[in-house]
């Protein structure tokens, strides 16, 4: 229990509330099965923060722990070779959101910290990285993740399709439990500096032309 909210895991009864919140928070539309999965399937870590008085959901984080075989092609380069084993896992944040009136009160940080606490517990030692994709123009989210020691991993042009238009994304990663990025001479240049540079140039162009 925190001073201003409490925590509980999502349940099937939350489906309509979660749908409404996601419609407000995210420009990307999720299919019906996504809502059913995140509110009921045990494989997801789906934690909600609820209002102390009315019990409504005021924030939530949803994460899936995957083997490297299950990650998208563009995310295959998340881990160094030594961690690319059958046992290694990575945690993918599918969703993190906070209702507007509770933003900048550390609720997003509290939810993320709860997740990291869980992923660094002894039973999750095989999880070597936490990662996510974020709309590249979402400055609140990119600042948030950078503040929490996530780093740009890859710039993903035209990754999302929103209202008939393409939009760029970036993947962000934080290494945990001794996980490390790929060890190549060009790693810091290729996986970090270049995407960051491309992100900033694209943002500049976007600001100028739209
Ligand atoms: C991103 C989001 C979850 C942050 O939640 P939050 O509870 O407001 O974040 P916190 O209060 O814990 O912020 C921690 C730090 O992140 C950074 N940050 C958060 N929001 C920011 C913003 N709008 N602009 C710049 N930096 C921001 C700041 O460094 C902040 O620390 P500070 O307040 O001491 O400066 C929230 O803005 C949100 O729900 N956005 C809509 C949904 C979304 O885009 N989710 C992310 C994609 S999965």
Write out pLDDT tens, residues 172-205. Answer: 999 999 999 987 655 544 555 566 677 667 777 7
Q: What is the set of active-site residues? A: 92, 133
Mark out the alpha helices in the chain (DSSP H runs): 15-25, 32-40, 107-119, 139-147, 187, 194-209
63 lines ligand 1 (CB under 6 A): no
Give the mean model confidence (pLDDT) for residues 105-109.
Answer: 98
Nearest in space to 178 (alpha carbons), one of 83, 91, 92, 86: 83
State the pLDDT at residue 186.
54
Atom 12 in ligand 1: residue holding the nearest Cα: 106
User: Comparing C-alpha atoms, which of 46, 24, 172, 150 is closest to residue 98?
Assistant: 24
**Under CATH, domain 6-209 is a member of which superfamily?**
Gcn5-related N-acetyltransferase (GNAT) (3.40.630.30)
Beta bridge partners of 134: 170
Residue that has been written with the tokens 């934080």 in this structure: 174
How much of the chain, in percent, has pLDDT values that exceed 70? 90
Kindly report the backbone phi and psi dihedral angles of residue 11, in degrees, each rounded to the nearest multiple of 5, phi listed first: -130, 165
Is 165:70 a contact under the CB 8 Å cutoff? no
Using a cut of 0.95, tell me whether the model's pTM lies above it. no
Please state which of the ranges 28-42, 85-99, 127-141, 172-186 shows the lowest mean pLDDT: 172-186
pLDDT over 90 at 81, yes or no? no
Ligand 1 contact via 108 beta carbon (within 6 Å): yes
Element at 64 (helix H, strand E):
strand 57-67
Least confident of 25-29, 55-59, 172-176: 25-29
Q: Which residues contact 113 (CB under 8 A, 6 or more apart)?
A: none
Ligand 1 neighbourhood includes 107 CB (under 6 angstroms) = yes
Indicate the domain borders of the chain: 6-209
In the reported structure, the alpha carbon of residue 103 is separated from the centroid of ligand 1 by a whole-number distance in angstroms of 7
């Amino acid at each position: 229990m925190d001073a201003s909210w409490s925590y509980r895991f999502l349940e099937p009864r939350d489906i309509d509330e979660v749908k409404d919140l996601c419609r407000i928070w995210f420009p990307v539309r999720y299919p019906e099965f996504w809502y059913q999965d995140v509110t009921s399937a045990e494989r997801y870590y789906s934690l909600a923060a609820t209002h102390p008085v009315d019990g409504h959901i005021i924030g939530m984080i949803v994460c899936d722990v995957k083997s490297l075989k299950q990650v998208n092609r563009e995310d295959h380069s998340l881990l160094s070779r030594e961690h690319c084993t059958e046992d290694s896992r990575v945690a993918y944040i599918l969703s993190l959101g906070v209702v507007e009136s509770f933003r900048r009160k550390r609720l997003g940080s509290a939810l993320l910290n709860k997740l990291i606490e869980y992923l660094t517990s002894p039973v999750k030692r095989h999880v070597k990285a936490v990662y996510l994709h974020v709309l590249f123009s979402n400055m609140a989210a990119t600042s948030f993740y950078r503040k929490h020691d996530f780093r740009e991993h890859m710039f993903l042009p035209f990754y999302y399709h929103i209202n008939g238009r393409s939009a760029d994304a970036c993947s962000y990663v934080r290494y945990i439990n001794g996980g490390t990025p790929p060890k190549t001479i060009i790693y810091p240049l290729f996986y970090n500096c270049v995407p960051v540079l491309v992100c900033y140039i694209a943002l500049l162009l976007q600001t100028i032309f739209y």
